[in-house]
Amino acid sequence: MRDFRNQIARGFSPYLPGEQPQGAGWVKLNTNENPYPPSAKVLQALGQSAEHPDLLRKYPHPFSESLKELIAQHYKIPADFVTIFNGSDEALAVICRCVLDAKDDAAYAAVSYSLYPVLIEQAGGHPQPVPMHNSDGLTLRIDQNALREHTARLKFLTNPNAPTGEFLENDKVVQLLNNTESLWVVDEAYHEFTRKPSMATLVSDYENLIVVRTFSKSHSLAGLRVGYTICGNTFVNAALNAFKDSYNLDSIACRLASAAILDAEYTQSTVEKIIASRETLLQKLSDLQFSVLPSSANFLLAKPPASISAEDLYLKLKENKILIRYFKNSEVSEFVRITIGTEEENTQLLSAIKKIINGSNG
């Protein structure tokens, strides 16, 4: 038999997802999930799905047409601008596969979503992290000039950025897009937590823009796996449709995501609760001498006080069944990323942190 080892193990560093502990009793603040349940209308649609066995027997619509229409109505754009994916991670992977040729550069802020370099490499491209503009030692800011001037064929902007929470207003994003030599992916996974208009409403004006969005965060549907792209460029949309799996979204996911987008009022209500809790948690962590970056997302990046390292804090909280995210061997290894939980979870977190800092735990 031919030896396939070289082709299979090409030294990829895989993406390291946050831990998903099994069993009850965990306060899970490590993967930026929404702490509130999905809309009751989504759960109702889930129950009703059991009355329609054809949803399972038959293949789904290959382009999830009904969901596309609803998303298009939501943003007041043509349905052809929307492509549905099995989570926005699939959208990002398909974009890399259909845009990058061997050794093409793809650029992104060095501290942003750590999946980008993995997907770029898998597509045969060349990851180009753009160093952060770190002017005063704490603020890990996107270097907008360097990102704009980079000659990469494909560029990613996470907006708000993860894990820093930095948000660029649309006028700043537009300045980046004016470098039309590159195709830009604006990843708006956390955008609802900004209360600002999405770049999706501007796709008709920018042929080099693909906006990526997800149901995982604001709609509390990370387990369902539904994401989508919005793009005004017919050629790009044809490529996305050609490169995705034929039946990438299952029929039930399509129905449930449709119920979620129709219940905008509920989505907004959980988003508002999370924004309010974010500001409270930021204040309380600052009172405990953490250095916390301002955030427009559903998480905070925080540097613990000098008395404890970020890694020790992460480990000690884990002993208390509280999970937060620690990025070992990274540019943010002095920080922890904390997903905003319910008020009760945030209170549990703060009281555990106080005990750890005061030395009465571990």
Ligand X SMILES: Cc1ncc(COP(=O)(O)O)c(C=O)c1O
Looking at the Cβ atoms of 30 and 277, the one nearer to ligand X is: 30
Distances (CA, A) of 199 to 106, 167, 188, 294, 300: 21, 12, 8, 21, 23
Report d(CA 311, CA 18) in Å as an integer.
15
How large is the C-alpha radius of gyration of the chain? 21
Q: Could you tell me which of 291, 292, 282, 276 has the C-alpha nearest to residue 343?
A: 276
Q: Could you say whether residue 214 binds ligand X (CB under 6 A)?
A: yes
Looking at the Cβ atoms of 141 and 316, the one nearer to ligand X is: 141
Closest CB 212 distance from ligand X, rounded Å: 7
Report d(CA 67, CA 42) in Å as an integer.
14
Distances (CA, A) of 298 to 83, 114, 295, 340: 25, 17, 8, 6
Distances (CA, A) of 66 to 61, 186, 261, 324, 350: 9, 24, 12, 37, 44
Closest CB 359 distance from ligand X, rounded Å: 34
Closest CB 63 distance from ligand X, rounded Å: 18
Q: Could you say whether residue 32 binds ligand X (CB under 6 A)?
A: yes
One symbol per residue from 166 to 205: x for binding ligand X (CB under 6 A), - otherwise; what is it?
Answer: ---------------------x-x----------------
Report d(CA 359, CA 336) in Å as an integer.
19
Report d(CA 314, CA 32) in Å as an integer.
16
Name 63's Cβ contacts closer than 8 Å, sequence gap at least 6.
83, 84, 241
Which of these segments, 139-147, 191-199, 214-222, 302-310, binds ligand X (CB under 6 A)?
A: 214-222
Looking at the Cβ atoms of 132 and 357, the one nearer to ligand X is: 132
One symbol per residue from 46 to 65: x for binding ligand X (CB under 6 A), - otherwise; what is it?
Answer: --------------------
Q: Could you say whether residue 263 binds ligand X (CB under 6 A)?
A: no
Residue 162's identity, in one-letter code, is A
Q: Are 152 and 107 in contact (CB under 8 A)?
A: yes
SS3 for 302? strand
Looking at the Cβ atoms of 239 and 257, the one nearer to ligand X is: 257
One symbol per residue from 77 to 116: x for binding ligand X (CB under 6 A), - otherwise; what is it?
Answer: ----------xxx-----------------------x---
Looking at the Cβ atoms of 189 and 281, the one nearer to ligand X is: 189
- Angle of helix 264-287 relative to helix 343-357, nearest 10 degrees? 20
The residues in 224-243 that bind ligand X, with binding defined as CB under 6 A, are: 227
**How many residues make contact with ligand X (CB under 6 A)?**
13
The residues in 134-163 that bind ligand X, with binding defined as CB under 6 A, are: 158, 162
Q: Could you tell me which of 216, 166, 208 has the C-alpha nearest to residue 189?
A: 216
- Across 327-355, b (16+ Cβ under 10 Å) vs e yields beeeebeebbbbbbbeeebbebbbebbee
Looking at the Cβ atoms of 190 and 314, the one nearer to ligand X is: 190
Looking at the Cβ atoms of 92 and 275, the one nearer to ligand X is: 92
Looking at the Cβ atoms of 254 and 353, the one nearer to ligand X is: 254
Closest CB 149 distance from ligand X, rounded Å: 23
Q: Could you say whether residue 33 binds ligand X (CB under 6 A)?
A: no
Report d(CA 141, CA 204) in Å as an integer.
29
Q: Could you say whether residue 35 binds ligand X (CB under 6 A)?
A: no
Closest CB 214 distance from ligand X, rounded Å: 3
In the list 34, 182, 208, 216, the residue contacting ligand X (rule: CB under 6 A) is 216
Closest CB 246 distance from ligand X, rounded Å: 19
In the list 46, 55, 72, 222, the residue contacting ligand X (rule: CB under 6 A) is 222
Give the binding site for ligand X (CB under 6 A): 32, 87-89, 113, 158, 162, 187, 189, 214, 216, 222, 227
